[in-house]
Amino acid sequence: MWRVLKIKRISKILLLMVPFTLLLSYHRTNIPLLASQQGNIFGSRGISTLRNFLQSRNKVYTEQVYVRPPPWSDSLPTIYAITPTYYRFVQKAELTRMSHTLLHVANLHWIVVEDSDRKSAMVSRLLEKTGLNYTHLNVHVAEKLNSKGSGQRNLALKWLRDNFSVNDSNAGVIYFADDDNTYSLELFDEMRYTKKVSVWPVGFVGAVRFESCKVNASGKVYAWDVKYAQGRPFAIDMAGFAVSLQLILSKPDVYFRLHGIPSGHQETKFLEDLITLNDLEPKADNCTEVLVWHTRAQAPPLYRGYGDPYIET
């Protein structure tokens, strides 16, 4: 009987020793300088070493967060993502979410245009921290338009035409990427080699699960699978197409129309001025895959006057 009790006591001692052994092993592996300390590891030297270790880990973490864009490649066409934005409570959250997607896209230039009389400090700081190639513009359109962001998109198109010439060999594509959408990384690979205008489905738009184009056996778009305003020549959402930079440069007078355009017709009027239906290039497996979604954040219910007003959210 006493032998059994002795074995049980030894087992308990061993079980108590295991966590301490693992803890010491962890510190020796992750903080070798502390493991080599003589005497009390909680002395001033040990605390200093621990502080330096934590600071170095924090530095590496910060660099990983803000310096992520892939190396620029001379062999890849540039994607110019044009994003109109305006102040609201969720603006920073949505721009942050979008920037974390764009950080994984090679050869991307982000053109962010604020609907404002001046550039906001918040957007300026956010863009600088991303490490992305970007251009920050602003223009305030006082009139109430049927398509929000049209004035901002037009300013971005003007900036591109002012900075690039149709006679230059500028391989690139323009995408109107609103800040309240969700984007698959595959989408940017699909659009990169657009010759004129490439198209694909868009999820959660027009009161249906997705809108798309219809593609025939020859790989040509011949109609549209939509519920809203089915008679539009180009019944497509802003997130559903990309345009060749060369095509935009070759037609310097084409902009989004700001007056006399019914709601939901900005895209079709813009594309009518650029191409014909036969020019469309269906992507995303002949428009059978959804790679972009309208997932705008819901405005949160907030208590007015609660919290520090100087803390940026």
Backbone angles phi, psi at 54, to 5 degrees: -65, -40
Domains (range + CATH), the chain = 78-294 (3.90.550.10)
Task: Find where tokens 């301490």 sit.
Answer: 20
Closest by CA position to 247, among listed 212, 279, 224: 279
- Residue 260 has a pLDDT of 83
- Residue 307 has a pLDDT of 77
- Residue 61 has a pLDDT of 42
Q: At what angle do helices 121-130 and 91-102 cross, to 10 degrees?
A: 20
- Residue 26 has a pLDDT of 41
Q: Are the C-beta atoms of 164 and 245 separated by less than 8 Å?
A: yes
- Strand blocks (E) in the chain: 78-85, 108-114, 133-138, 172-176, 181-183, 197-199, 202-205, 208-215, 221-225, 241-244, 280-282, 292-294
Task: State the Cα–Cα distance between residues 235 and 225, nearest whole angstrom.
Answer: 8
Q: Is the dihedral of CA 210, 215, 219, 221 positive or negative?
A: negative
Q: Which residues contact 186 (CB under 8 A, 6 or more apart)?
A: 284, 289, 291
Closest by CA position to 266, among listed 175, 121, 132, 146: 146
Taking only the tens of pLDDT, the chain with its 313 residues reads 445 445 556 555 555 555 445 444 444 444 333 333 344 433 455 555 545 544 555 544 444 445 578 999 999 999 999 999 999 999 999 999 999 999 999 999 999 999 999 999 999 999 999 999 999 999 998 766 656 899 999 999 999 999 999 988 878 999 999 999 999 999 999 999 999 999 999 999 988 999 999 999 999 999 999 999 899 999 999 999 999 999 999 999 999 998 888 888 999 999 999 999 999 999 999 999 999 999 977 778 876 777 777 787 7
Catalytic residue numbers read 267
Residue 256: strand, helix, or coil: coil
Task: State the Cα–Cα distance between residues 254 and 23, nearest whole angstrom.
Answer: 67
- Residue 23 has a pLDDT of 45
